[in-house]
Amino acid sequence: MSYTTITQLSQGLKDGTFSSRELTQDAIADIKSRDHLYNSFITISEDLALAQADAADQRIAAGQAAPMTGVPIAHKDLFCTQDVRTTAASKILENFIPPYESTVSQLFLNAGAVTVGKTNLDEFAMGSSNENSYFGSVKNPWDTKAVPGGSSGGSAAAVAAGMVAGATGTDTGGSIRQPAAFCNLTGIKPTYGRVSRFGIVAYASSLDQAGPMTHTAADAAMMMNVMAQFDPQDSTSMQVDTPDYTASLNDSLAGLKIGLPKEFFEAGLDPQVAAATLAAIKQYEAMGAQIIDISLPNLQLCIPAYYVIAPSEASSNLSRYDGVRYGYRCDEPKDLMDMYCRSRAEGFGEEVKRRIMVGTYALSEGFYDAYYLKAQRIRRMIKNDFVKAFTQVDVIMGPVTPSPAFDLGSKTSDPVAMYLEDIYTLSINMAGIPALSTPAGFVNGRPVGLHIMGNYFSEAKLLNVAHQLQQVTDWHLQQPQSL
């Protein structure tokens, strides 16, 4: 079932062209036969998926189907799934079987969607290339010498290769948008608090947010309709009405004000990526939009501030993996301290340890004010830049990444080069606003994304804006040549 959309599958199920069981069996057979090329799945949940498919077929036959009933999808292996192993791509959780379900995956179950498996990621979602996984790196279906992006690289590769039509991701500093850009997908990071974080393995709690990864904006809208719900189990979940994200996809963009921040087009951006991004933005003029130059003066501070805040929160969140209650425990500990130390030393990978050390240092007495508090002040300045910009414009556009997907192994020895990958995406999480990536062409055969950012709770507008571009361009329909 190569390259079909959720919209097409939903229609086919409704029309009786195929059953959910047939779709699910095909998807699983496809993953089994082809995923060795990409390594995008950590776990395939075949029996459960087939049972869910049979239940979906009954629901469809009874005339009680919801739009996603019977559609096979995959979840990033950071969402806890009851009775299905959830690893966060870490050795420390290699054999962890959650006793409960994350709200997001539960909402998809309620909607009748079928979960075929759990996708690969950077360990604890820390990374920009999916090379930090205990289960090995993921390959980009557009060019298997290239990274798929990270940390939601497995979800991106699984959709780009046509093994599932949609998958969930999480985005703490770019992990949905950057892999979406590298793999020619639509990926949206919603407003902080729009989608429940309950049951998602925490990385940096004040930045983490879940969202969909799909071929089209219309498909992303369908997934958002399922996952964007208030959740009393998440204290940061916002009690706001959920619009029907598919209802406004065709709204006219006449009069739309698009802000172009000059800081997004300065040194460091690959000229070909700049050209592709600007050409995509130019398409909006024909739709009646107006392009306005703006400035986000504190943008360059986002990397140092993020790489203090995110590791600080991570060091706190990851203190729970101590070998006592669940997760990996070292062999034959001498005493309690030896058990803590060796379980963590053996269970965590290099990048995770680096972040725990940076975060613990930044939070320690004497350094807290100099680092953590200062980073929080910078965060507020970045947020204020966006708030001000949105008094002038409706959406902001720019590149998602400074370059197209880079080669596997090319940045693994230089963490700072890897962190610079996030220059355009991090500030969005710091401000808590929503943003998406939509396909915007190719540079040397590798996809480029257009970054569309909006004010708080403007997801429906962002999807509308992306959908309109997808009506006049065909980048999102292109397939990797290898397929």
- Whether cis (ω within 30° of 0) applies to the bond prior to 151 is yes
Neighbouring-strand partners of residue 396? 259, 453
CA-based nearest residue to 24, from 119, 163, 227: 163
Shortest CB 434 distance to ligand GLN, Å? 14
394 in contact with ligand GLN (CB under 6 A): no
Q: Please name the residue that has the structure tokens 């759990």.
A: 118
174 in contact with ligand GLN (CB under 6 A): yes
175 in contact with ligand GLN (CB under 6 A): yes
Q: Which of 70, 72, 98, 127 binds ligand GLN (CB under 6 A)?
A: 127
Shortest CB 221 distance to ligand GLN, Å? 22
Output the CA–CA distances (angstroms, integers) from residue 11 to 8, 65, 167, 249, 454, in the order listed. 5, 11, 18, 18, 30
Q: Which stretch binds ligand GLN (CB under 6 A): 12-20, 21-29, 172-180, 333-341?
A: 172-180
Q: Which is nearer to ligand GLN, 269 or 303 (CB)?
A: 303
Shortest CB 332 distance to ligand GLN, Å? 34
3-state secondary structure 190-203: CCCCCCCCCCECCC
For 183-295, where are the E strands, in sequence order?
186-189, 210-214, 257-261, 290-294
Q: Which is nearer to ligand GLN, 172 or 191 (CB)?
A: 172
Shortest CB 59 distance to ligand GLN, Å? 34
Q: Which of 40, 90, 128, 225 binds ligand GLN (CB under 6 A)?
A: 128
How many chain residues touch ligand GLN (CB under 6 A)?
13
Binders of ligand GLN among residues 309 to 328 (CB under 6 A) are: 310
151 in contact with ligand GLN (CB under 6 A): yes
Q: Which of 322, 422, 460, 465 binds ligand GLN (CB under 6 A)?
A: 422
Q: Which stretch binds ligand GLN (CB under 6 A): 61-69, 124-132, 360-368, 468-476?
A: 124-132
Q: Which residues does 305 contact at the CB level (< 8 Å), separation at least 6?
A: 374, 375, 378, 379, 382, 430
Shortest CB 71 distance to ligand GLN, Å? 25
Q: Which residues does 43 contact at the CB level (< 8 Å), separation at least 6?
A: 77, 84, 85, 87, 117, 118
131 in contact with ligand GLN (CB under 6 A): no
CA torsion sign, 322 to 329 to 150 to 354? positive
Q: Which is nearer to ligand GLN, 12 or 127 (CB)?
A: 127
Give me 154's structure tokens. 């497995």
77 in contact with ligand GLN (CB under 6 A): no
Shortest CB 170 distance to ligand GLN, Å? 6
CA distance 23 to 189: 28
126 in contact with ligand GLN (CB under 6 A): yes
Q: Which stretch binds ligand GLN (CB under 6 A): 173-181, 271-279, 281-289, 391-399?
A: 173-181
Active site residues: 76, 151, 175
Residue 8 CB-density burial (10 A; 0-12 exposed, 13-18 middle, 19+ buried): middle
Q: Please name the residue that has the structure tokens 């500093």.
A: 173
Residues that bind ligand GLN (CB under 6 A): 125-128, 151, 171-175, 203, 310, 422
